[in-house]
C-alpha cells in the first residue's frame, strides 16, 4: 500500500494523485493542512524536512519527496501505462514542458512565497493577487507558445495519450482558474485541459474533490 501525505489544494499533490490513478495504484492520503501550518510540526518535518507536500511512502523505504521525482519513480517502478514516451527526444520534450509548468512557474506562487510578499515586502492583497495571476498566466502562455504549431502536440501535450506534461499542465490550469486568471485566449492549453478532465483518473484527483476542500467554489 502506498501512503501519501498531501493537501487538497496542493498542485504537486494533484499531479501525484493523477499518476497513481492512471497507473491503477491503490493509495491512502493523509491531508496535511497547509493553511493551519501542519507542515511545520516536528512529526511531519521528520517525514519531509522541507515541510512541503506531497511525501509518498512505499513499503518500508524512506519518504519520497518532490512531485516530479515521485512521478519519475512511479514511472520506473510501474511503467504501464507510460507517462513518458519511448524515445529520448520525446522524453526530453515532455520533461521540458513539465518543468516549464511545475518548476519555472508553480514555485513562484506557493504559500511560503506569498507569505514573504505579505510579511517582508508588505505587498497588499491586490498586488499579491496580481503577482499570483501574472505567473500563472505567464507559465500557461509560454506553454501555449511551445505547444501550438508543434507537430509533436496531439490531443495531449505529447501525442494522443496523457503523460507527465499533462499532469503539470492541468495542475497549473486548475490553479489559474481558482485565482480567476484570464486564459481563454490560450486555445491549445484549454483544449488539452478539457481532454485531461474528461479522463476519470484526472477528474477524481482534482483539488475540489479531495477531503478538506470547500464544498462549493
Report if residue 104 touches its own copies, rule: CB under 8 A: yes
**Closest alpha carbon to 170 in 200, 146, 140, 131:** 140
Q: Is 32 helix (H, G, I), strand (E, B) or coil?
A: coil
Report if residue 103 touches its own copies, rule: CB under 8 A: yes
Report if residue 79 touches its own copies, rule: CB under 8 A: no
Report if residue 76 touches its own copies, rule: CB under 8 A: yes
Report if residue 123 touches its own copies, rule: CB under 8 A: yes
Stretch that binds its own copies, among 35-43, 102-110, 154-162, 200-208 (CB under 8 A): 102-110
Q: Least distance from C-beta 174 to its own copies, angstroms? A: 19
Q: Are 18 and 12 in contact (CB under 8 A)?
A: no
Q: Are 194 and 183 in contact (CB under 8 A)?
A: no
Spatial CB neighbours of 196, under 8 Å, sequence gap ≥ 6? 156, 162, 166, 169, 170, 202
Q: Is 35 helix (H, G, I), strand (E, B) or coil?
A: coil
Report if residue 95 touches its own copies, rule: CB under 8 A: yes
Among 24, 37, 107, 187, binds its own copies (CB under 8 A): 107
Spatial CB neighbours of 134, under 8 Å, sequence gap ≥ 6? none
State which H helix or E strand residue 103 sits in: none
Rounded to whole angstroms, the Cα distance separating 44 from 52 reads: 9
Among 18, 34, 100, 193, binds its own copies (CB under 8 A): 100
Which residue's CB is nearer to its own copies, number 96 or number 185? 96
Stretch that binds its own copies, among 125-133, 154-162, 189-197, 199-207 (CB under 8 A): 125-133
- Name 159's bridge partners: 153
List residues near its own copies by CB under 8 A: 49-50, 52, 61-62, 64-66, 68-70, 72-73, 76-77, 88-89, 91-93, 95-96, 98-100, 102-105, 107-108, 112-113, 116-117, 120-121, 123, 127, 130-131, 134, 138, 142, 145-146
Amino acid at each position: 500500500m502506498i501512503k501519501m501525505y498531501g493537501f487538497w489544494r496542493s498542485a504537486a499533490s494533484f499531479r501525484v494523485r493523477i499518476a497513481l490513478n492512471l497507473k491503477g495504484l491503490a493509495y491512502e492520503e493523509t491531508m496535511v493542512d497547509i493553511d493551519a501550518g501542519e507542515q511545520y510540526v516536528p512529526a511531519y518535518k521528520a517525514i519531509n524536512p522541507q515541510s512541503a507536500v506531497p511525501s509518498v511512502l512505499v513499503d518500508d523505504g524512506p519518504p519520497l519527496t518532490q512531485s516530479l521525482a515521485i512521478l519519475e519513480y512511479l514511472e520506473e517502478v510501474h511503467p504501464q501505462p507510460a507517462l513518458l514516451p519511448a524515445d529520448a527526444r520525446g522524453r526530453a520534450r515532455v520533461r521540458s514542458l513539465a518543468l516549464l509548468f511545475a518548476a519555472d512557474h508553480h514555485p513562484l506562487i506557493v504559500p511560503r512565497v506569498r507569505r514573504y510578499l505579505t510579511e517582508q515586502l508588505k505587498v497588499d492583497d491586490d498586488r499579491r493577487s496580481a503577482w499570483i495571476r501574472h505567473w500563472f498566466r505567464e507559465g500557461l502562455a509560454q506553454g501555449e507558445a511551445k505547444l501550438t504549431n508543434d507537430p509533436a502536440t496531439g490531443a495531449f501535450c505529447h501525442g494522443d495519450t496523457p503523460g507527465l506534461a499533462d499532469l503539470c499542465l492541468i495542475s497549473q490550469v486548475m490553479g489559474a482558474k481558482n485565482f480567476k486568471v484570464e486564459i481563454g485566449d490560450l486555445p491549445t492549453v484549454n483544449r488539452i485541459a478539457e481532454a485531461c478532465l474528461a479522463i476519470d483518473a484526472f477528474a477524481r484527483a482534482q483539488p475540489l474533490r479531495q477531503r478538506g476542500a470547500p464544498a462549493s467554489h
